[in-house]
Chains A and B, each alone.
Chain A
Amino acid sequence: MSDHPKIELRNVSKSFGSNHVLRDVCFSVEPGESMTIIGGSGCGKSVMLKCILGLMDVDAGQILVDGEEITTMKAVDHDRVRAKFGMLFQGGALFDSLPIWRNVTFALTQGRHKRASDMRAIALENLERVGLSKDVLDLRPNELSGGMQKRVALARAIAPRPEIIFFDEPTTGLDPIRTDVINKLIVELVHDLGITALTITHDMGSVEKISDRVAMLFEGRIIWSGPVAELRHSGDAHVDQFVQGRAEGPMS
């Protein structure tokens, strides 16, 4: 087993003009752990995720994956590290122009032509893992409901068997039953496949269901982190207000 955390952020800062979105953010995620970052809308959760994924550059600080610093990596090395990642985007981000089976296998084909029968079999295996049948293989994303699109996106994220999977608001816009389905899938994937998970969300029901550890981001800083069991007894007024969903409190 590796001595390094799977993901580690050291004093990461990111600004857009005078708007300091991330200020000296530090936290780490251990291998096989499911960590959730909570925080209000616009607190910098998505920016932080994009910095880890290499979709945005940080202004200062270090991001390490398996002990390797990735912010200063060459493109070719970054590509090697990205092979460890899977990502579930908030809106699914499925490719409209491709059928479902090609969406699911996109990470394996990287848009190139490979034997369709092999790829369809791989797509079906992953779709079945998220509770979908072969009926959806040839459909287009716009022919599916929001919940089904999310599950297809999840199948796409796990198809290359990533070591680390990122979830950006995985249950936003879903009804309570679909939310529970997605939460269960995330728990199963983390436990069955041994994937390290980093989730950002403000859905407290999901947080308590899918997380081993939780950290709270407020005004660009991690103000609290700890095991999910301690979330409701954090002793931090900001966390309490957020967890209880109160309008009154220090974050008002």
Chain B
Amino acid sequence: MSETGILGPLVAIFAAIGKPVVGGFATVGRVTLFALQTIQRAFTPPWYPLRLLEQLFQIGWNSLPVVALTAVFTGAALAQQIYTGGSRFNAQSTVPAIVVIAMVRELGPVLVGLMVAGRVSSAMAAEIGTMRVTEQIDAMVTLRTDPFRYLIAPRLFASVIALPLLVCIANVIGIFGGYLLSIHKLGFNPSGYLEMTNSILEGDDIMMSLVKAAVFGFFIALSGCYAGLQTKGGAAGVGRATTNAVVGAFVLILLSNLVITLTAFG
């Protein structure tokens, strides 16, 4: 049947909308299969503990400076914002409580997730992508080494272990940033500030922070490794893979953050 008359533009519009939607579902399916395949192989030998330690160092230790800076600046800015906003209805004294809850439940995990995603997902995609286009992955298979176990599983485990540790450190530094600003600029009493922080913080808040961090760590490695393994077409392909890895990780972090928050409080 000919697609002429009024149907022609309509078909074109539906095709323009439908193609990316179908493509999006296909990508979700492929990423899910990739994740299941990785998990299944990650829990069966051979394991590579030295590769895991190497990745822990790369992801955890090397991310510390950027995570610490992000946390201290955010904590301090947050304290100032809450103080200024709270002064409109005489609620300046809530600064310690809101800083600690916001940092631990939300800003610590999300900001660390985003910062580490920017650093680590892109690096993973670039390294694995370069290995893909230079046939190093194929070479690994012919040398009877499973790239999922050798390359992907150590990154995934390291990311899931490192992110909660980084988030714990970021939470402490972020609260400390808020404390410093509140004491030196906003005139809070040091012991009163710490007392309020301590009394408001609950075990569930810390648990939520750690759960979010572990989930974000999983998505950061998943996005980087998946984009890397899908790389095609030389240097331009590696460039696309790094972009896709970072964008994918950001979207997955923000989406999963909403899902976890709604599941806990919705």
Contact = CB atoms under 8 A, between A and B. Distances in A.
Contacts of B138: 50, 53, 55, 89, 93
B87 interface: no
Interface size class on chain A is: 20 to 34
B139 A89 contact: yes
Given A111-B150, A112-B46, A112-B48, A106 B136 contact: no
Nearest to B151: A111
Given A91-B135, A111-B150, A85 B142 contact: yes
A60 to B, nearest CB: 23
B90 to A, nearest CB: 59
Contacts of B135: 89-91, 93
A121 interface: no
Contact of A110 (B127, B131, B134, B143): B143
B134 A93 contact: yes
B145 interface: yes
A55 B137 CA distance: 10
A86 B139 CA distance: 10
Nearest to A160: B143
B232 interface: no
Contact of A82 (B127, B142, B150): B142
Contacts of B131: 95-96
Contacts of B145: 106, 110-111
Nearest to B136: A93
A54 B143 CA distance: 12
A208 to B, nearest CB: 27
Is chain B's binding surface mostly helix, strand, loop or mixed?
helix
Nearest to A55: B138
A47 to B, nearest CB: 12
Contacts of A55: 138, 141-142
Contact of B139 (A54, A82, A83, A87): A87
Interface in B123-182: 127, 130-131, 134-136, 138-145, 150
B29 to A, nearest CB: 19
A117 B50 CA distance: 18
B119 interface: no
A43 interface: no
A96 B143 contact: no
Interface in A142-200: 156
Contacts of A57: none
Contacts of A91: 134-135
A96 B131 CA distance: 8
A91 B130 CA distance: 13
B136 to A, nearest CB: 5
B240 interface: no
A117 B161 CA distance: 33
Across chains A and B, which 4 residue pairs bring their CB atoms closest together, nearest first? A93-B139, A93-B135, A107-B143, A87-B142
6 contacts: A53-B138, A93-B134, A96-B130, A107-B143, A110-B46, A112-B48
